[in-house]
Chains A and B, each alone.
Chain A
Amino acid sequence: MNETASELSKDEARILLERVGRDRDMDAFEVLFRHYGPRVKAYMARLERDGSVAEELMQEAMLAVWNKAHQFDPKRGNVSTWIFTIARNLRVDAYRKMRRPDFDPDDPGFVPDAAEPADAALAHAQEAERLRAALAKLPSEQLELLRLSFFDDCSHSSIADRLRLPLGTVKSRIRLAFARLRAVLEDDR
């Protein structure tokens, strides 16, 4: 019984999140909550059988979405990616109890990207559409590997055990999957 959560286009999601960041718009936040809350909970529940813990982590993630909305930059990615990274960081902090070393774009030692073209946000939106199409065409065994990696906190060797595959096969499937995604994005450029 899979509940189909509400549908929201990438543009709609971006406009709503920008309204939350800029105007502290509670109605816009409610739409985002109804759409992303169940997904965040499902992501948390992949590691946590206890529904109330998953629910609590979902609330934490949605509070972080509200508090950080002004930091969202559409030139860097779309809303689902941004919310995924917030949920992921919370989950790592909750389960791994480790320092989570990350690069810091404000650090003077950071080597910045080459200047972005003026239409970066548009180019990015088109790229996201192409990525969606390219993912839909990946062989199911590659998609399954990506899902296990992203959602189930599986190391590649534990995935290999689980699927009874040699580690080398797991690694080469990962490489194949990303080579394919990159090829699709570059072809259309």
Chain B
Amino acid sequence: MSVRHHVSDELLLAYAAGSLEEGWRLAVATHLALCPESRSRLALIENAAGQLFEDIVVEQPMTTSFDQLRQRLEGHRTPESGAVRHPTGRRAGGVPMLPEPLRSYVGGDVETLKWKALGRGAFHILIKTGDATTTARLLRIPAGRPVPEHGHGGRELTVVLAGSYHDGDRLFARGDLEEADASIEHQPVATPLEDCICLAVTDAPLKFKSWLVRLVQPVLGI
């Protein structure tokens, strides 16, 4: 079964430009690993970048001569190590549920995970990234149950890894990416046959640093 819900052009463009923050990038890269069609759209965008790069305006000449570069090359002479990363937690002969780069981020495939209860039968695992602006987590939603409230005010990207869920009349299954923002009221519900496991990345919850703001926060109700 192929992926039905694809990443948007805006997100792919930011991915291709290298301007996407780590948390969002993790979600987009995980979707791309599972979706050849989105990768071919990425290829078009990167080829457009390559063409514009060919025509980029050159204002300053290079100061490096070829002989200087050549000397650096010879001093360098580190042959490509050809080092192949060995993905961890790979099921013998099987296809891991968590593709790279996600598997390395959580430290193994699905059977090695230590889930934490979220209540109402749901579980989650926070994923450590270097990106303070987003929160990334794996969610496990019991078959037939709704996704618990996980409070996000801004954008949310969800990539389905196992099982499926309905959001309104749309069905999301393995590899699908759902992009939601604060303006969208949504209440995803896992389909009845199987628990649904997904990667969810959201804007980090707002934290008010100042003690004064913290003091008045309950009063203002923000």
CB contact list, A18-58 vs B, under 8 A: 26, 30, 33-34, 37-39, 41-43, 45, 51, 54-55, 58
Residue B85 interfacial (CB < 8 Å):
yes
Would A149 and B17 count as touching, CB distance under 8 A? yes
Residue B207 interfacial (CB < 8 Å):
no
Would A153 and B100 count as touching, CB distance under 8 A? no
The number of residue pairs between A and B whose CB atoms lie closer than 8 Å in the complex comes to 217
Give which listed residue, B40, B64, B131, contacts A58 with CB less than 8 A: B64
Give which listed residue, B17, B34, B46, B60, contacts A77 with CB less than 8 A: B46
CB contact list, A47-97 vs B, under 8 A: 51, 54-55, 58-59, 62-63, 66-68, 70-71, 76-78, 80-85, 87-89, 91-92, 96-97
Residue B36 interfacial (CB < 8 Å):
yes
Would A78 and B98 count as touching, CB distance under 8 A? no
| Binary contact readout B143-182 vs A (1 if CB under 8 angstroms, 0 otherwise) | 0000000000000000000000000000000010000000
Would A101 and B26 count as touching, CB distance under 8 A? yes
Would A62 and B33 count as touching, CB distance under 8 A? no
Would B49 and A98 count as touching, CB distance under 8 A? no
Would B105 and A101 count as touching, CB distance under 8 A? yes
Residue B54 interfacial (CB < 8 Å):
yes
Would A42 and B50 count as touching, CB distance under 8 A? no
A111 to B99, CA, bound (A): 9
Report if A88-B36 is in contact (Cβ < 8 Å); known contacts: A101-B101, A178-B9, A181-B44. no
Would B69 and A150 count as touching, CB distance under 8 A? no
Which chain B residues have a beta carbon within 8 Å of chain A's beta carbons? 8-10, 13-14, 16-19, 21-22, 25-26, 29-30, 32-36, 39-41, 43-54, 56-64, 66, 69-70, 72-73, 76, 78-80, 84-85, 87, 90, 94-103, 105, 129-131, 175
Which chain A residues have a beta carbon within 8 Å of chain B's beta carbons? 1-5, 26, 30, 33-34, 37-39, 41-43, 45, 51, 54-55, 58-59, 62-63, 66-68, 70-71, 76-78, 80-85, 87-89, 91-92, 96-104, 106-114, 127-128, 131-132, 135, 143, 146-147, 149-151, 153-156, 171, 174-175, 178, 181-182, 185
